[in-house]
Structure 1
Amino acid sequence: MRILGIIPARGGSKGIPGKNIKKLGGKPLLGYTVDSVADSKLLTKSILSSDSEEIIRTGKQLGVEAPFIRPADFSRDDTPSIEVVKHTLAFFAASNEYFDAVCLLQPTTPFRSKGLIDDAIRKFESGSYDSLVSVREVPHEFNPHWTFEETNGRLQIATGEKKIISRRQELPKTFHRDGAVYLTKTEVILKQNSLYGDTIGYVENSGSDYVNLDTEADWEKAEKILKAKS
């Protein structure tokens, strides 16, 4: 299976200015994802998609290919990730280069367990999945069966059930996406306009510390994680 790795790194971040190339533990944030890509043996090709010449320059210094500058139309605050992926696939299709699947690797989730990308690819290739995502288990106190939605000033169980599960031991195991890996078949992306499709596999990224960088508080958390490790 030919799999294209895409590292999306837009310029103009508002929550953390310049975050994709901001130094985290002495290394540009982008570098953590580039290192994970370099560790993979199963990605056919990996590229950086950015609208920023500075990010592209940094990416190339880190050793990742950046074959184009992403157009402004695909680089707005509200641009969905799937549009970035479709633009990249179209770029390569114009040169008659095609891929069976895409692996989206967001720099904002920098801490991946070693071998996570290839573990995800192996499971993806061996199963009948439209997509596969990396996940972490939801702590029982935040399990959706124990959370509520507000409707007209009243609360109802978020899962829609009428009766709450009373014992922790009876709660089903639930997960949340951690943003480290998204794998999707190309035909699902192009025909269904979806990064998920109908059948979603998963791989747990529980072997590493978790942070998803969106705010300055998130950045401080990442710095504390690295400090604790050192």
Structure 2
Amino acid sequence: MKILALIPARSGSKGVPNKNIKLLDGLPLIAYTIKQALESHCFTKIVVSTDTVEIAEIAKDYGAEVPFLRPKELASDTASSITVAQHAISYFEEKNTFFDAVCLLQPTAPFREKRFIESAISKFSQQAADALVSVLPVPDEYNPHWTFEKDSNGFLTIATGENEIIKRRQDLPKTYFRDGSIYLTKVNFIKKGTFYGNQLSYIESNPLLYTNIDTPLDWQRAEEHIHKIKHLL
């Protein structure tokens, strides 16, 4: 299977300026994800999609390819990851280079356990899934069967649409949230505008490594956290 590792890294971060190349424990943030992709030996190409030469040069220094600069309209804070992936696919197909799947690896989730990428791709291939995402379990108190949403009259209803709430914690079905570490999808579904396909598989991340950097506080926590989890990376 030919898989494109796609690492999106635009320049215009508002929460943490220049976060993709900001130094985290001495390394540019993007370098963690590039290194993990290279060490997995799973990818036909490892490409960084960025809109600036500065990020492109740093990405190349750490071993990624940067065959194009992303158009300005795909570098705004409203641009979606799916359009970024579609742009990369189109770029390569115009050059007669084709992939079976794209693995989106976000630099803002920099901590992935050793061999985590390999495990994800192995499961994806063995299950013949349309897509696979990395997840973590939803804590019981936030389980959708125990949460509420407001109806048109301003009253609360159970978020799942059930009439009665599940009373015992032990009876709650296990639910998951996307942790942002891996999105792995067959190309034909990305072209249709989805990372999830019809048959969506998953892999559980190590909760000790969960980090998603969007704000200055997230960055501070990552700086404090990395010294505790380096042996897992």
Distance in 2 (alpha carbons) for counterparts of 1:17 and 1:142? 31
Distance in 1 (alpha carbons) for counterparts of 2:229 and 2:205? 18
Query: What CA RMSD, in Å, does the superposition of the two structures yield over aligned residues?
Result: 1.3
| 1:135-159 Cα distance to aligned partner (Å, 9 max, x none) | 1111111111111112232211111
Distance in 1 (alpha carbons) for counterparts of 2:116 and 2:227? 23
Alignment partner of 1:46 is 2:46:
yes
Moved over 3 A (4+): 227-230
Mapping of residues 29-178 of structure 1, within 5 Å = 29-151=29-151, 152-178=153-179
- Structure 2 stretches of 5 or more lacking a match? none
Q: How many percent identity over aligned positions?
A: 50
Cα shift at 1:196: 1.0
| 1:158-190 Cα distance to aligned partner (Å, 9 max, x none) | 111111111111111111001100010011111
Q: Is the 8 A contact 2:49 2:68 kept in 1?
A: yes
Distance in 1 (alpha carbons) for counterparts of 2:182 and 2:126? 17
- Structure 1 stretches of 5 or more lacking a match? none
One-letter amino acid of the counterpart of residue 201, structure 2: G
Cα shift at 1:32: 0.9
Q: TM-score if structure 1 supplies the norm length?
A: 0.96
Q: TM-score if structure 2 supplies the norm length?
A: 0.95
Cα shift at 1:208: 4.3
The alpha-carbon distance between structure 1 residues 56 and 18, as it changes in their structure 2 partners (threshold 3 A), is same
Cα shift at 1:45: 1.1
One-letter amino acid of the counterpart of residue 164, structure 1: I
One-letter amino acid of the counterpart of residue 176, structure 1: F
Residues matched between the structures, number: 229
Q: Is the 8 A contact 1:113 1:208 kept in 2?
A: no
Q: Secondary structure at the match of 2:209?
A: coil
Q: Is the 8 A contact 2:180 2:212 kept in 1?
A: yes
